[in-house]
Structure 1
Amino acid sequence: MIKDTAEQENSILIVGGGWAGLATAVKLCQQGHHVTLFESARQIGGRARRISIETDTGKNLAVDNGQHLLIGAYHTILELLDDVGVDVEKNLMRQPLKLNMQSLQGNGLSLSTPKLPAPLHLLFALLGASGLKIRDRLAALRFASTLHRGRLATAINHQDISVTALLVQQKQTERLIAAFWEPLCLAIMNTPLHEASAAIFIRVLSDAFLKHRQDADLLFPRTNLGNLFPDPAIRYIEKCGGHVHLGMRVSTLKIENQKISGLYVDEAFIAGSHVVLATSIPATLSLVKTQHELSSLHTNISRFKFEPVTTIYLQYPADVQLSQPMQGLIDGCTQWMFDRKHCNQPGLIAVVISSRGPHMDETKDALAKRITTELAQLFPHWPDSLSQFVIREKRATFSSSVGINALRPDNQTTVRGLWLAGDYTNNGYPATLEGAVRSGVQCAKLINQTI
């Protein structure tokens, strides 16, 4: 059955059913191409997929494998959702940027953007922020003004430095770094401040804050991520005549005379003149390691390092809620808290811890206890949580470290007809859903130009 469908004339084979692979497939379908997608897992969506957790009552809840946040600057995702028939206004709750950074010591920070054009909305948000002294605000304003002039991005792209070095260079205060820049950097890049690439950080800041006011808006999914994009994408692909095969692992690529001729699913050969590897970095390394034509690619992406993300789902009684959909914590193990009531899951709080740290050495039970203790200190009026569920993705993202952009491959490889799609490719963004989708859209565009 696979052979019959995949060998249709001009069929493009896509390996990997994460957001990059699905974006590639959707765009190719739009352009009239026949696609066949293979996903080794039994479920679509990659690292941003739907999973099921069990509550204290034995009820199963559909949640995300890791809590994700979208922003208004993620135009590629928003356009793609519209392409596959998703009602964006219905499925995403849009809110002007409002940061409420709590503190166990009582010295938090809060800011919100007024309805002013960019970048004035950011400047006035910083001026009106509570929890900052005058010197902190002036330092932030100077940095924002420097960003707006654009010369800084040019210099950093020429010679990348760490975000820590950037903030020191721009004379940001210790308070501003601890309460604002560090939480923001971890949320955006999932990489420690002293290792994170300033070039990538500036790129996202510029997109979010310097172009249009709405780009800084926070977009909270009203449903799980599987319902938001992967499921509608599959329906769209199949409606266009494409095929999606789950639970089928591609084992080998067939390359002849510097050109791709197909792939193997176990022992079955599937012919194809165009193959897109939309797989994770480890899976891509496995597929290209024996191909001498791709030795340079293998060398570069084997140098990527990875960062974990830990998500703790805490079920409280249904009347427990945060004062806003997302809140941060600047001096605890907890970094971000999300209220899942907007996903019709009242009382469910998702706590996110980005990157590595001592928490990775704790047992899941010990970590859950530590987090519930912190939340009890922040919200003493809350009752005890009814259940806890800890998810550790040890290789959740690549590390957006200094100089990483020089190692990121283009969509087109040195083998004719073999393409790459994934957040790690050369799209300028950190390991985000927007980066993955941008890569997939660009890959489809390049393929269409060659056919």
Structure 2
Amino acid sequence: MKQAPVVIVGGGWAGLAAAADLAARGLQPLLLEAGKQPGGRARKVAFAGQAVDNGQHLFIGAYHHTLRLLKQFELPVEELFKRQPLHLTLQHPQGPKLSLRAPRLPAPLHLLWALLNAQGLSTRSRWQALKFGWRLSRHKVMTQTDQSVLALLRQWQQPRELIESFWTPLCLAIMNTPVGDSSAELFLSVLRDAFLHQRVDSDLLYARRDLGHLFSEPAMQYIEHQGGEVQLGRRVLQLHIEQQQIRGIVTGGGEIRTSQVILAVPPRAAAALCESHPELAELQQQCSAFEYEPICTIYLQYPKQVQLPQPMLGLLGGLGQWVFDRRLYGQHGLLAVVISTGGKHMRLTNAQLISRIGEELQNHFPHWPAHEQAMVIREKRATFASRVGINSQRPDNHTAIDGLWLAGDYTRTNYPATLEGAVKSGLQCATLAHRAVHTPRQDAFS
């Protein structure tokens, strides 16, 4: 019967982060992933003979845990991303274009200057945005009890024009939850981390590699180089628990004995593993209670000369919300259009959705030729729904079982569902497991 000091169940970003950190500490962890490739909901897929992502992601400078881990993998981080000071442009097909650009000033002055000088907004909207930013910077925008982002914005007298053309697209991008349902507590947490500490925290980091080459594959290589082990296609069927302590896990290939297990799987999978253990009934209920929001990513391959004026644009007035130029990946003419949360687009067939998005891009860029190929990726449970009150429902890294830890973006990170939240949670569990290994119970394998 095999033994391992720590077993990580799940090879998404949380599991990979936990395994990499433990491997760096010399614990030789064993990571088991049910799928054929690591990465979880942030992985690479094939399209038109090239690697793309199952969902287009944007990193920001405030992703300190993720960036630190990439440096630990000895990757050239400054070459992996195109770093750009905050510059958001949102445009209607026929109408005004909203542009917000942050100068190289210390935080939070860079935000205040950007709001005051935003183009495409009325004087009243700029003034109200500036007042909101000023109060945020003075830590005066707070919620005694959680409320929706929309209620918060109305409370702070943000005009309808500003809510519709700026705050709503930003909220959807950050939260993947409608502005009328999104947790203001989580939204404010992201805004504070991005804008109130260092200017570079609000930088936009456009990846130059797909997510597999950027994180998942280097993480696997690092774990194995440090003496850990990664097994793909290995599903965990059961937890072995005795006397309130983890004793091992059961797979199709038999049992693996261990005194430390990090569950780094989605909530539904965690709930299934907890189901047969009365001690984990509360955790099972917490994980089962999560609701989800979808994300659709539509890839359109145009002739190679087609490109956006900047790496990312916001699209107003249609189904498409953000469009990314994959030229930075060396994929010339390839665009990725993102639609967050549910809506009428979910009732369209893939062919209908491709046609609709193609028409919208044609309205924005009439001189473009028609696209040549297209693909739709629908992640129906892309993220948990970051609705009002969600923080009080999220589980902690600790569980009721000694030696059993829970990792994932849905744990209590004070972030919505983000890659940074997943990495942060994985690292927290690694610290807890490492500490437990070095202060083991005497009856760990008795």
TM-score range normalised by the length of the shorter chain: over 0.9
Task: Give matches, 1:317-328, under 5 Å.
Answer: 317-328=303-314
Q: 1: distance between equivalents of 2:304 and 2:354? A: 19
Q: 2: distance between equivalents of 1:295 and 1:108? A: 52
Superposition RMSD on alpha carbons, in Å?
0.9
Q: TM-score, normalised by structure 2?
A: 0.97
Farther-moved stretch of structure 1 (193-202 vs 120-129): 120-129
Question: Could you tell me which residue of structure 1 aligns to residue 210 of structure 2?
Answer: 224
Question: Could you tell me which residue of structure 2 aligns to residue 152 of structure 1?
Answer: 141
Residues 145-187 of structure 1: CA deviation (Å, up to 9, x unaligned): 111121433xx2x410000110010100001101110000000
Instruction: Tell me if structure 2 keeps the 8 A contact 1:200–1:428.
Output: yes
Per the TM alignment, residue 394 of structure 1 is displaced from its structure 2 partner at its CA by: 0.1
Per the TM alignment, residue 266 of structure 1 is displaced from its structure 2 partner at its CA by: 2.0
Instruction: Tell me if structure 1 keeps the 8 A contact 2:26–2:227.
Output: no
Question: Could you tell me which residue of structure 2 aligns to residue 186 of structure 1?
Answer: 172
1:36 aligns with 2:20: no
Which of 239, 246, 254 pairs up with 2:232? Answer: 246
Per the TM alignment, residue 29 of structure 1 is displaced from its structure 2 partner at its CA by: 1.1
Q: 2: distance between equivalents of 1:12 and 1:34? A: 8
Q: 2: distance between equivalents of 1:150 and 1:265? A: 49
Question: Could you tell me which residue of structure 2 aligns to residue 61 of structure 1?
Answer: 50
Question: Could you tell me which residue of structure 2 aligns to residue 345 of structure 1?
Answer: 331
Instruction: Tell me if structure 2 keeps the 8 A contact 1:85–1:232.
Output: no
Q: 2: distance between equivalents of 1:449 and 1:37? A: 18
Q: 1: distance between equivalents of 2:69 and 2:388? A: 30
The runs of 4+ residues in structure 1 deviating greater than 6 Å are none
Question: Could you tell me which residue of structure 1 aligns to residue 105 of structure 2?
Answer: 116
Q: 1: distance between equivalents of 2:286 and 2:271? A: 10
Q: 2: distance between equivalents of 1:437 and 1:378? A: 37
Question: Could you tell me which residue of structure 1 aligns to residue 441 of structure 2?
Answer: none
Which of 294, 299, 315 pairs up with 2:280? Answer: 294
Identity %: 53
Q: 2: distance between equivalents of 1:49 and 1:296? A: 31
Residues 245-265 of structure 1: CA deviation (Å, up to 9, x unaligned): 001110111111110100111
Residues 19-50 of structure 1: CA deviation (Å, up to 9, x unaligned): 00000011111112120000000011101001
Task: Give matches, 1:3-402, under 5 Å.
Answer: 4=2, 7-8=3-4, 11-54=5-48, 60-153=49-142, 156=143, 158-266=144-252, 268-402=254-388
Structure 1: state its 5+ residue gaps: 55-59
Per the TM alignment, residue 267 of structure 1 is displaced from its structure 2 partner at its CA by: 5.4
Task: State the one-letter code of the partner of 1:360.
Answer: M
Instruction: Tell me if structure 1 keeps the 8 A contact 2:172–2:179.
Output: yes
Q: 1: distance between equivalents of 2:228 and 2:436? A: 20
Number of equivalent positions: 437
Instruction: Tell me if structure 1 keeps the 8 A contact 2:94–2:364.
Output: no
Q: 2: distance between equivalents of 1:236 and 1:412? A: 26
Task: State the one-letter code of the partner of 1:132.
Answer: L
Question: Could you tell me which residue of structure 2 aligns to residue 57 of structure 1?
Answer: none
Residues 297-330 of structure 1: CA deviation (Å, up to 9, x unaligned): 1112221100000000000000000000000012
Per the TM alignment, residue 450 of structure 1 is displaced from its structure 2 partner at its CA by: 2.1
